[in-house]
Amino acid sequence: MIKNIFIKIKDEEDGAVIVIVAILMVVFLSLLAITLDVGSAYLETGDLQKAADAAVYSAGRLLPVQQTDTAAINGIKDSAINYAELNGYSGLTYDKIVLGNIVNGNYTAIKVTADKSVNMTFARIFGVNTINITRSAKAMLSPKNKMTGLTPIGMLKSDFDAMIQSGNTKHVVLKYGKGGGVNGFFGALDLDGSKGGGASNYSLWIAHGYPGEVTLGDVLLYENGNMVGPTFEGFSERYNSCTHYGATTGGDGCTAEHFDPDCPRVAKVAVYYINSSYTAIVCGFASFVLESQTSDGYITGSFVKTLTYGGSSTGGSAGSSGDFGTYSLMLSE
């Protein structure tokens, strides 16, 4: 009798253990299934982010674009789709590419949203066939706070502001010649901030740009004298170095209407204000497509907003303080 009771208890224990093991197996296999599927989705998420980043960073190089320029807007969207595809993502469409941060009628930022449904393998057992993943990336123009390759031409901030306000941004006199200028200043700056070097430095910088870095707040000296000869030589060399838009086959080359941002004809100039001790303090950087010069020292060019390489940016968005139309591209999300 006593022996029978013991056998019964043992049988019941065995049954309970089998049930517990069965439940644990189900829980364990479920966790394994979820872990494997979530893991593969996570890997896909990384790839998707990479494709979104590449799309905005590559297409963003075409910023800024005018709000009304449909061809340019489609061009930038096509570029984003193309770079997403090159990075393994073929699901990008126009409606997932949004241009934004409008400054003076120009888009200065691009955002891309990439989404994808990832097929599940094990989670199908529980009725989950796919999960959707979404990644986005944004790139924006940010005003320069440091610049390399400047030409030794300066523009007074009050002149720059007046130019923007009047809307007369084409064929602007950047450097005055004989009889021009104010108080004997012809618009040329000594970019290395140290006296000496004179005409030879100046001519090199007109032709090839100043190799050093100029930062917001730097104090620059005025270049003494009119520098007519060195200006003429340096300008000719720079102007004739354009290789774009048919320049080498008798065409116009770069103009304010169409230009390569890295063309030597796109001259980067320091915008400055004068402090109480009559020194020039750099407060921004602007770009002009050079157009003409006269043999007596005048240079004219047209103002353009452009992305340039070299230097660095303030990290602020376009339109924030210190924006004189020359930018770096930065990923902002």
Residue 289 binds Zn ion (CB under 5 A): no
- DSSP string covering 234-254, please? HHHHHHHT--STTGGGTS--S
- Give the residue with the Cβ less far from Zn ion, 154 or 301: 301
Q: 212-271: which residues touch Zn ion (CB under 5 A)?
A: 242, 244, 254, 260, 263
In angstroms, give the least distance from the CB of 131 to Zn ion.
Answer: 49
Count of all residues that appear for the chain in the document = 333
Q: Which is nearer to Zn ion, 202 or 259 (CB)?
A: 259
The secondary structure of residue 216, as a DSSP letter, is T
- Report the chain's terminal Cα–Cα distance, integer Å: 77
User: How far apart are the C-alpha atoms of 261 and 87, rounded to whole Å?
Assistant: 25
Nearer to Zn ion, 109 or 263 (CB): 263
Shorter beta-carbon distance to Zn ion: residue 51 or 207: 207
CB closer to Zn ion out of 48 and 263:
263
Q: Compute the least distance from the CB of residue 253 to Zn ion, in Å.
A: 5
Q: How many CB atoms lie within 10 A of CB 151?
A: 31
d(CA 292, CA 25): 82
Closest separation in Å from C-beta 195 to Zn ion? 34
Q: Which residue's beta carbon is nearest to the bound Zn ion?
A: 263
Nearer to Zn ion, 73 or 242 (CB): 242
Whether the Cβ atoms of residue 92 and residue 114 lie closer than 8 Å to each other? yes
CA dist 152 and 216 (Å) reads 15
- Smallest gap from Cβ 304 to Zn ion, in A, equals 12
What is the total count of residues that contact Zn ion (CB under 5 A)? 5
**Residue 195, helix vs strand vs coil:** coil
Residue 263 C-beta: closest distance to Zn ion, Å: 3
CB of 207 to Zn ion, least distance (A): 15
Structure tokens at 295: 């043999």
- Say whether 324 sits in a helix, a strand or coil: coil
The backbone torsions φ and ψ at residue 264, rounded to the nearest 5 degrees and listed phi first, read -60, -25
Burial of 194 (0-12, 13-18, 19+ CB in 10 A): exposed
Q: Give the closest residue to 60 by CA, choosing from 324, 317, 322, 320.
A: 317
Residues 6+ apart with CB under 8 A from 80: 55, 56, 58, 59, 92, 97, 110, 112
Report in angstroms how near the CB of residue 81 gets to Zn ion at its nearest: 27
Indicate the residue among 267 and 269 with the shorter CB distance to Zn ion.
267
CB of 288 to Zn ion, least distance (A): 13
Q: How far apart are CA 307 and CA 333, in angstroms?
A: 19
Based on CB atoms, which residue is closest to Zn ion, 63 or 242? 242
Contact residues for Zn ion (CB under 5 A)? 242, 244, 254, 260, 263
